[in-house]
A and B are shown apart, each in its own frame.
Chain A
Amino acid sequence: MNAAGASARWRALGTSVVVITTQPRELTDAAARVREVLDQVDLACSRFRDDSELCRVNAAGGSPVAVSRLFVRATRCALRAAQLTDGDLDPTIGGSLRAAGYDRDFATLRAGGAVRFRRAGGWRRIELDDAHSTVRVPAGVELDYGATAKALAADVAAATAAESLAGGVLVSLGGDIATAGAPPADGWPVRVTDDHASERDEEGQTIALRSGGLATSSTTVRRWRRGESELHHILDPRTGEPAERCWRTVSVAAACCVDANIASTAAIVRGERAPEWLESLGLPARLVAVDGTVTLAAGWPSPPPEER
């Protein structure tokens, strides 16, 4: 139990899950609903499960595949992300990740030889037939919904849990946070830092979140070696190479976790142009440069003197 209520923690989707409810007696029910949603998202969107819908679409050799409504929604979400970022996020990045060596669950990834980078297949080649619930990608193009599916899962899980709650709920999937229902009186206190697995006093900033979602993307985590290079998981779809390291970590607050995550990941890819872009969208953001310099955008609160 903590100031905001009661919490439950476990692992799913290859990362840590935190569920917090403002009403402690509602935690068990909320956690059960969140588990159910995460199981469904995993079965639909995992790149590392042969029985997932995403793997079936990738393996279909260019034929359309009948999919669930959840997968249709995840596909729409991924296509929207690509459109809104002019392709900085691209759901056809699966082949690029595989080429870069990220071809299995990250926990089992080992160092390997040098790689030959491969650009993304091109998100405009995805064919989504909403009416018939089918998705088709050309043979050889591989989907990966890593940039959006986790955030979508957080949003859906929080909204689903809140349906049966009198109080509020926060769902964090690897630090991508969605909230629903009435927040605590002073908001949800969240520590923003490089790694979601860090201790809560790690270098960073604590803010109060009262609505919507918050997401942080970072090049300091999910790193692996190939040949002489150390790679990270945020690839530039245009080259298939890890995005240039202008920002090591970007945190964004938005109306939902999906929007926050789209903006934070795209900001890493955009590099120097990111602060201006985030300002134009009115999305409060905290960008940490590789040297540790912090840039705040669009009304992100300044830290108190002791945190500067």
Chain B
Amino acid sequence: MARGATIAAMSPRPPRWGSSKEVAIRRAVLARDAGLRRISAVTRWLIVGVVGLSGALALIASNAFHGRTISNTSAASSVSSPSSQVAPSAGSSGGLSPANVTPTPTPAAPVVVSGGS
């Protein structure tokens, strides 16, 4: 009997679900785990929602205020360095440029008239 008693003592003790205290603990643990899972899920959805909403708001804002924040396309920047902005034809870059040859008086009959229009 003594041997049998030893073997019995070394075997895992079967759960005793019947204990009302342990059942309460187990239920509490299960409830806690379920709560944590719900919180985790809600948190994930919140993150997804915030990211999506941010993107949507950014899109709306970019449409509503297009161009205002693109500094390199504003008028001010377009003309801040005329030499890099204006086509390379005569006088179209930098400041106003004098002609290569200054006009001179002439006795010839005019071929065209320059005046207000």
Give A residues with C-beta under 8 Å from B: 2-4, 7, 15-16, 18, 20, 63-64, 73, 76-77, 79-80, 82-84, 123-132, 136, 150, 155-156, 159, 170, 172-177, 186-200, 202, 204-222, 249, 251, 253-256, 258-259, 262-263, 281-284, 298-304
Contacts and interface: CB of A to CB of B under 8 A. Distances in A.
Given A64-B67, A304-B107, A299 B102 contact: yes
Interface residues of B, number: 40
B67 A221 contact: no
B19 interface: no
A211 B85 CA distance: 24
B91 A126 contact: no
B99 A213 contact: yes
Closest 8 CB pairs of A and B: A218-B116, A174-B117, A212-B99, A191-B110, A255-B97, A256-B91, A196-B115, A255-B91
B79 interface: yes
Contact of A80 (B66, B79, B104, B108): B79
A131 B82 contact: no
A287 to B, nearest CB: 13
10 contacts: A4-B111, A76-B85, A155-B89, A174-B117, A189-B106, A198-B113, A210-B104, A211-B99, A256-B90, A300-B102
Contact of B79 (A2, A82, A299): A82
Given A195-B116, A218-B115, A301 B104 contact: yes
B76 interface: yes
A255 B99 contact: yes
Contacts, number: 237
Nearest to A179: B99
B96 A76 contact: no
B70 interface: yes
Interface of B: 66-67, 70, 73-76, 78-79, 82, 85-87, 89-92, 95-117
A77 B85 CA distance: 10
A74 B36 CA distance: 65
A251 B113 CA distance: 11
Contacts of B115: 175, 192-198, 202, 204, 216, 218, 221, 249
Main secondary structure of the interface of B (DSSP, over half): loop
A207 B113 contact: no
Given A196-B114, A206-B109, 11 more contacts: A2-B109, A79-B75, A79-B79, A80-B79, A130-B73, A130-B85, A194-B116, A208-B106, A220-B116, A254-B97, A301-B105
Contacts of A176: 114, 117
Contact of B114 (A126, A214, A301): A214
Given A79-B75, A123-B75, A218-B116, A200 B110 contact: yes
A304 B105 contact: yes
Contacts of A206: 105-110
A259 B96 contact: yes
Contacts of A215: 114
A175 B116 CA distance: 7
Contact of A190 (B78, B91, B112, B117): B112
B114 A64 contact: no
Contacts of A220: 116
Nearest to A137: B75
B85 A191 contact: no
A300 B79 contact: no
Nearest to A301: B105
